[in-house]
Amino acid sequence: MVMSAGSGAVKRICVVGGGTAGFYVTQYLVKHLENCRVDVLEKLPVPFGLVRFGVAPDHPEVKNIINTFTKTASHPSVKFLGNVALGRDYTLKDLRENYNAVVLAYGAESDRNLNIPVDGEFRKILSARQFVAWYNGYPGAENVVTASHLQGRTAAIIGQGNVAVDVARILLSPIDQLRKTDITDYALEVLAASKVENVAMIGRRGPLQAAFTIKELREMLKLPGCQTTWRPESFVGIKESISTLPRPRKRLTELMLDSLSKQSPAMAPTSGRVFSPIFFRSPKCVRRSGNEFILDLIVNELQGDKAMATDATESLPIDLLLTSIGYSSLKEDSQLNFDSKKGIISNRDGRVLTNSQEIDPGLYVSGWLATGPTGVILTTMNNAFAVGQMICDDFKEKKIKEEDKPGINLSHKDVVSWSGWEKIDQEEVRRGSKVGKPREKIVSVDEMLKVGL
């Protein structure tokens, strides 16, 4: 049902963050809230957040959502302001003074800590977030991964979500397959020289709790020149529980069991690339043993759905360690009531709370900044639409004052408009067409500004 909040003064709303959550909130507002003006403020000169910098380059179909966001940005009631950052170019106080409502949707740009002892000489440890930012051309990530990181044969990934599978797939994909994507040229160069052949993906619980989806697993099983190996002991009793599972989990488990059934000791790979999901293990430490580094793993057993440590351990020689245990948001303004333990802004269903845990009228939060890094794009869309509905309701119920607000003036800053982004977009596509790619991303902010201003 389409809601309106009446006419009268222009309802000025600011959305901080030009990623998935920010655009979905904006889309909802311009469709359902009469007489509104929405300014989308983005830290980078380019929009789309994790759709641009998080989605794997070999998943172009997921990026089609950009078409929807482009329609939203082109709406006459929407203004995109790129290259302006909360805490650097303006404060939360500035926004509160210049808008009727403010939506914080700047996502999660930090990592949850692994918190295990790591030998001081072991330098080849990265977060999956850093690795993804590197191959996707996030400004400043160009040198996060170097050729030296990928000179060993074995990489271990802690975590079993879709991001972990993305990282494994990029490490194990044939380089000619990646050349057809919008992966950065510098990443292609390093990956082409990679000696990584074995990728172990380690999860603390079992196959029934695996966080990756069937689509991601199917891609790994079909990856050319790569074999997936399972540990049969991890699947004891799993077949008997199939009938009790909800359909998505049932289909995923059936696919794992089918893959396992085609595996035999005689098929153990002696060469080529290998992907090894390992269940019921938690990292204990990384230590040196002679000339190699060892990842010690704690053996877990399930009690209900919880992984409980046993006294048993096992050791895995590694050359590279990647952590994929979740993202965390940052406190970008001192006035924010930030829950540092959860890595989110304190809120009640999207309404931001004050330090005394009261609702702060006119201030909202959406996406991973509100919920933590959970779900997929559809999850974020539903959350953002719910926040948009809340804002409409609050205007209708007079919980937000409809006084005239001018919107923030950032004319003294180097602001990239939507037309400026379109110039950057066109230049990237032009550069990509020269080398047979959909685009060649500009990774330097200074260069983006030269093109877009």
* Tens digit of each residue's pLDDT (9 = 90 or more) over 244-253: 999 999 999 9
Contact status, residue 150 vs residue 198, Cβ threshold 8 Å: no
8 or 51: whose pLDDT is higher?
51
Confidence of residue 268 (pLDDT cuts 50, 70, 90): low
CA distance 392 to 350: 13
CB 367 within 8 A of CB 20: yes
pLDDT at 327 over 90: no
pLDDT averaged over every residue in the chain: 93
Coil, strand or helix at 209: helix
> CA torsion sign, 382 to 383 to 388 to 389?
positive
- Give the model's pLDDT for residue 5: 44
Residue-wise pLDDT tens digits, 186-220: 999 999 999 999 999 999 999 999 999 999 999 99
In this predicted structure, what is the pLDDT of residue 272? 84
Residue 334 confidence (pLDDT)? 82
Is residue 6 predicted with pLDDT exceeding 80?
no
Backbone angles phi and psi of 346, in degrees to 5: -60, 125
**pLDDT, tens digit (0-9, with 9 covering 90-100), for 371-416:** 988 878 889 999 999 999 999 999 999 999 889 999 999 989 999 9
User: Is the pLDDT higher at 6 or at 420?
Assistant: 420
Place of tokens 């204990």: 284
Res 267 pLDDT > 60:
no
What is the pLDDT at residue 204?
Answer: 95
Weakest-pLDDT range from 76-85, 98-107, 134-143, 329-338 = 329-338
For 265, other C-beta atoms within 10 Å of its C-beta total 6
Residue 133, exposed/middle/buried by CB under 10 A (0-12, 13-18, 19+)? buried
Q: What does the alpha-carbon distance between residue 174 and residue 163 come to, in Å, rounded to a whole number?
A: 19
CA dist., res. 345 & res. 365, Å (int): 7
Give yes or no for residue 286 having a pLDDT over 80: yes
Amino acid at position 74, single letter = S
| Phi/psi of residue 113, nearest 5 degrees | -85, 145
Place of tokens 């959970």: 374
Closest of 123, 222, 234 to residue 173, by C-alpha: 222
Portion of the chain with pLDDT greater than 90, in percent? 83
Query: pLDDT value at position 1?
Result: 38
Contacts of 76 (CB under 8 A, 6+ apart): none
Lowest-confidence pick of 66-75, 179-188, 336-345, 359-368 = 336-345
Mean pLDDT of 441-452: 97
Cβ(76)–Cβ(82) below 8 Å:
no
CA distance 409 to 89: 11
- Of residues 126, 66, 90, 69, the one with CA closest to residue 16: 90
Given a cut of 60, is residue 356 above it in pLDDT? yes
Confidence band for 120, pLDDT divided at 50, 70 and 90: confident
Residue 4's pLDDT is 44
Q: Can you give the pLDDT at residue 115? A: 85
Question: Per residue in 122-166, pLDDT tens?
Answer: 989 999 999 999 999 999 999 999 999 999 999 999 999 999 999
